[in-house]
């Protein structure tokens, strides 16, 4: 018997009407629909294994993009890290990247190699089912390495040693783990409604997956049944201490800010409190009434007060770290 689990409130990326997404916009369509702030977007692909790609985008303000190296002051780099059932073009991610570009950063978004998205959302469910935290950590390292080595578009605009992470939901947990594993690689981390517990599911789901080899998570937006294979739990069990997110936040030397919506699911709020108890040296901010996606939906139609508060708080925190530009 299949055990189905609905993830509403546990990192679900929702939409306005429950419909399917359309394919990615072309760069021409991106510029036609983009209003203020105007930015340039350059796409990239990183091959991490044969036939396994990380697809991403680099955003820089139009006034800076494409200038010769040294012609303008290089900028700190923000890497945006999506969460469970997320992807780089979901909802607020492109808008947020543009906002950070306008604020004086180079912003990088990317899809984890096994997030299930290739040409359009969730057309690679087999890979989605075999995704693990270890794989996502390796993917994030590949993106950080590419920034540091100057292998991404617009690298001449980047201060490569000024790397900052903004992770949403599971992406927040991954950002904490990465910072703790690599204390000299990042200047700062901000988690937006980040998870405090690596196991997103309940004990009954875990038991069934380990017994039968696979379980299924319902995607309320696309109406798909998304597989979770036993390799997810095998990886989690093998690296339990490494993926203990509150403990890793406590030991991390990297400055961190945790932003939590008070209207988010109880499990996420409990995780936030666990992080605050474990790592009181880090910073914590609660947003009144904000839900898991700060009120933003997919397809993205407009910003929200909560999203703007999260962006502003993130910018202020990073400016303290990297200095005024």
Q: Which CATH superfamily is domain 4-322 in?
A: Alpha/Beta hydrolase fold, catalytic domain (3.40.50.1820)
HSE of 83, CA atoms in CB hemisphere, 13 A: 28
How do the domains of the chain map onto residue ranges? 4-322
89: three-class secondary structure by DSSP? coil
85 in the Ramachandran plot: left (φ > 0), alpha (ψ -120 to 50) or beta?
A: left
* 99-136 residue pLDDT tens: 999 999 999 999 999 999 987 778 899 999 999 999 99
> Residue 121: its pLDDT value, please?
75
Q: 256-261 and 283-287 as β-strands: parallel, antiparallel, unpaired?
A: parallel
Which residue positions in the chain have pLDDT lower than 50? 1-11, 14-34, 66-71, 324-325
Return the structure tokens found at 286: 């609660």
Q: 174, 180 in Cβ contact below 8 A?
A: no
Q: 216, 202 in Cβ contact below 8 A?
A: no
Q: Whole-structure pTM over 0.85, yes or no?
A: yes
* 230-284 residue pLDDT tens: 999 999 999 999 999 999 999 999 999 999 999 999 999 999 999 999 999 999 9
Edge to edge, the sheet with strand 214-218 lists 4-6, 214-218, 225-229
Looking at residue 15, the DSSP 8-state letter turns out to be B
| CB neighbours of residue 139 within 10 Å | 23
> Residue 37: its pLDDT value, please?
57
């Amino acid at each position: 018997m299949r055990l189905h689990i609905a993830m509403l409130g546990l990192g679900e990326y929702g939409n306005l009407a429950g419909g399917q997404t359309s394919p990615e916009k072309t760069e021409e369509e991106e510029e036609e629909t983009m209003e203020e702030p105007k930015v340039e977007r350059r796409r990239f692909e990183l091959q991490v294994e044969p036939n396994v790609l990380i697809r991403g985008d680099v955003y820089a303000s139009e006034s800076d993009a494409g200038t010769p190296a040294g012609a303008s002051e290089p900028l700190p780099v923000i890497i945006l890290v999506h969460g469970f059932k997320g992807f780089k073009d979901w909802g607020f991610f492109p808008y947020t990247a543009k906002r950070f570009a306008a604020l004086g950063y180079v912003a990088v978004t990317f899809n984890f190699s096994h997030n299930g998205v290739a040409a359009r959302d969730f057309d690679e469910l087999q890979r989605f089912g075999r995704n693990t935290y270890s794989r996502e950590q390796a993917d994030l390292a590949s993106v950080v390495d590419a920034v540091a080595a100057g292998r991404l578009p617009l690298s001449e605009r980047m201060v490569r040693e000024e790397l900052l992470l903004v992770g949403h939901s599971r992406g927040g947990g991954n950002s904490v783990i990465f910072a703790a594993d690599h204390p000299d690689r990042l200047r700062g981390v901000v988690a937006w409604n980040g998870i405090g517990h690596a196991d997103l599911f309940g004990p009954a789901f875990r038991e069934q997956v380990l017994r039968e080899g696979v379980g299924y998570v319902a995607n309320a937006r696309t109406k798909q049944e998304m597989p979770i294979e036993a390799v997810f739990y095998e990886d989690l069990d093998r690296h339990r201490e490494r993926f203990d997110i509150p403990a890793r936040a406590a030991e991390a030397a990297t400055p961190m800010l945790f932003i939590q919506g008070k209207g988010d699911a109880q499990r996420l709020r409990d995780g936030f409190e666990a992080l605050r108890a474990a790592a009181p040296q880090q910073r914590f901010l609660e947003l009144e009434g904000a839900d898991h996606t700060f009120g933003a939906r997919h397809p993205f139609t407009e910003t929200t007060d909560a999203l703007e508060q999260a962006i502003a708080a993130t910018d202020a925190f990073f400016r303290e770290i990297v200095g005024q530009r």
